Amino acid sequence: MILTSPFLKNEGIRSDLVKRYLTSKWLRKVGNEAYKLYDDEIDIFGATQALQDQLGKSIRIGGKSALSYLGYSHYLSQKNETVFLYGKYKEKLPVWFINYEWNEKYKYYAPNLFDKELNEYLTEFSRNGISTMISCAELALFEMLYLVPTEQSFQEAFLIAENLRTLRADKIQTLLENCNSVKVKRMVLFMLEENDHAYFKSIDVSKVELGSGKRMIVKDGKYNSKYKITVPRDLHG
């Protein structure tokens, strides 16, 4: 795990003690105001735990990465996969996080996707003895579709959505009603309906603001008149 200066200070470890621990090779510097035990191997998963628990940030693993952790995209290779991180609108990563040479690739987004507090849409996930909060499957779906088509292909997102057979309709409903992106809301509804998920029947589309006008999601696709979006011509292979 990563030990930040605010955490060490809270534990009663003064800056002079930190310097002594560095000299004695008990601690090693990760960056400005961040440390680790000298021989520890750290990763982005553990770093998000420090961001949340020690620095009070909302930054979390989300989108396709969260769905992968939760077992919804198990057919995809996780080796060398980019870790997708999300935070509140305009929330910034600490400098030590940005400058550290991680073994994993990551991309961070702080979009204006929701105005509401998202704590109830997070779920605890444990790995290698470390627990951190990641996006729940319902929120992760919205986060993944936010990146279509620039960072995420429509086809792959559709295949992942095909596996989302146990989502909670009430969570989807609230997220739909509070999402700021018309494009994302239209794609969520299209994918859940197209995949014939049973819980889709419980979603009240009349309460969802879907805006006006057409949205071209993919080039040279076919037009879906119900949700006014262009989608790939052959989604089902």
Q: Which domain holds residue 3?
A: 1-42
- Regarding whether 93 and 23 lie in a shared domain, the answer is no
Averaged pLDDT of the chain: 94
- Regarding whether 212 and 166 lie in a shared domain, the answer is yes
- Regarding whether 3 and 82 lie in a shared domain, the answer is no
Say if 156 falls within a structural domain: yes
Question: Which percentage of the chain shows pLDDT scores above 90?
Answer: 91
- Regarding whether 52 and 87 lie in a shared domain, the answer is yes
Q: How confident is the model at residue 79 (pLDDT cuts 50, 70, 90)?
A: low
What is the mean predicted confidence (pLDDT) over 41-49?
Answer: 95
Is-contact 180 112, C-beta < 8 A?
yes
- Regarding whether 58 and 11 lie in a shared domain, the answer is no
Res 204 pLDDT > 60 = yes
Q: What was the pLDDT predicted at 76?
A: 52
Count other Cβ atoms within 10 Å, centred on residue 36. 18
pLDDT tens sequence across 209-237 = 999 999 999 988 999 999 999 999 988 65
Q: Are β-strands 130-135 and 34-37 bridged in parallel, bridged antiparallel, or unpaired?
A: unpaired
Q: What was the pLDDT predicted at 80?
A: 67
pLDDT tens sequence across 147-163 = 999 999 999 999 999 99
Give SS3 for 203: coil
- Regarding whether 77 and 31 lie in a shared domain, the answer is no
Number of domains in the chain: 2
Say if 236 falls within a structural domain: no
